[in-house]
Structure 1
């Protein structure tokens, strides 16, 4: 590959610098750099970040290619500034064997828009009854280190303990979808004033908080790692904060939509706002933002959940839960965290690249923007403002809650090991 000179970029939001890429690595970072024959990208003060890493993506392949494929999902990831995504296991068939995770891994390698690291199921068929082939998935070509039944909770405490014990042997982590099923039967939205007024079944905060409390205690008992998926309540924040104060090895993520949207939107009865866990209250939103800023919540993860039109364009009760998020995540974080003064761009890089790469052990990702490091990079026009138009999405699905909403920021370029996957806002 030829050399690329990114001229005048604000690295992590700092003073403008030049970044010279040679092949797959960063050759130099400084001012006044030049390189004969290099392709020049005029950054003009745009912010340069390490390539984003998403620890929670649903790519749907195999089995639900009508909603997303590894190709379309990774193209959406590149459009959003991501160079690596972790693909959840709730496919058809479920990614509970070495064969299925290797299939997803190889599809990611073939398409090349970003690295795809499969997440293995904790239990066979996501049924919560018998441990899946955790060791075989880890030893496969995919090298799985993160395991999750996301979409379903590992609600059996004995199964959860065994999973934590098993992954401890090779430094893996269990990522829990915290939802006590008996407390959420028939749930349609957050349990509270709005659900009562609308007559929709409530999803109480305690259904999330009780599982998190149990699992951090199990992790402490076993001496293993647990990760909390899509944390959504103020009470959950306090439990994780308490667990960390005890030295328990727990990490947690928050989605962009839980940083911005509230259950008041359910009053529209528009199923685009139906998601699991549900949109919560303004109080929860503020608690989540503060927790992400102070490090109680470690990372932002999209929970990108594509659905075909017919699964969302129906009455609320029949609609599927979930939202697409890869192409809007950074803009939402800019609005909720950067423009409110809660995080600077270095903090965004930490929460959306460095830490998710560390939790998932994504080699070569989440690295500093410095000489000798892999050239996995994202260039962001932070001055841009525009309304979200899902018609322009790279994702196969359009179930975004932000259609027509003005959001700040736009990813203009993404590089994966020095190869451009997005150029001037268009897929390479």
Structure 2
């Protein structure tokens, strides 16, 4: 198979040929000194070719023109070496049977080949050795030249790198010198400004020192005058407050009033030294509810009182002198009859838990209400009401005709009767689904 040159594979092919030739010569029986010398030359050539192969592999890209020229020279030398080794190898192929140990050739033929080898090929072997020595020497010189060229190339590159580093170092040094000069100028300018400021401050201190001493007395006098004026003003204010306060006798006659919050949320002070009986208290309340919702309920005295905070019930049957305390807060609630089942808010019909005897506040409308269970005989759950009360019940109002949204605090007395007689042929039934009374006629 033909071997192409111009790449690393060419050198490898020649190395393989050299190894084949060495193996062939080693197989010759009774090799003499000339054959051993030829083998030695071939081993030197093989080592030199391997070094050239390594050099070509590393620098085949031709980093410099010198290296590219050396690579071309090496390729030509390798080609010449290839031709020499191939020619000599083909020449000794006909003696292969004589060199092989494992065969049994014809004795006469073997003797003839041996005589021919010793007579005719001895000079050829000497020429081949000389050519090998020359080729090896030229390749070794080529390697020395290549190494020298590489040293020069590396020296040039190192010199170029050193020059570049020195140039950058010089530029950095110049830049640092300029920065240091600028900093030095800035420090000198700052020192000059500080010295100028110190000089100005010294001049100002000298100018102000005498003036401050002269003005010190005036400032102290003005400060003392201001302090005395503040003290006199404070004294006059205290005297006025003392004159406005009642004397010890007057303070003994004045009591704190009882604070009343009525069902519509109005807060009123009730002076217990002025209101001295339940009748006077009821009269004042009726007057305050004149022409506003709850007047008829107030006239019927259908309301309840409880102490604020504690929720303690204040009975209307108690003596007036023991019912209230000075400064006490009292909450007032209207009392209405409740004909519903008590599971909604009386003002906005929002769902509410049925809890008797406890105050509850609706989270929707804010009304505070309490349901009271009234004991009643369920065997006779009928009650006669007027025509006007029939209209009020059908519209969702109380029996007194008031809209519950007008009040802030009420009490509802639960009426368990589910049927209320209105007239001869009319009655009102409680509708559980609609949660209100519905008018019905009896035939």
- Structure with the higher fraction of residues in strand conformation: 1
Q: Looking at CA atoms only, which structure, 1 or 2, has the larger radius of gyration?
A: 2
Specify if TM > 0.5.
Answer: no
Task: From the two aligned structures, give the one with the greater helix fraction.
Answer: 2
**TM-score between both structures, scaled by the size of structure 2:** 0.17
TM-score, normalised on structure 1?
Answer: 0.17
Which one scores higher on RCO, CA 8 angstroms, separation ≥ 6?
A: 1
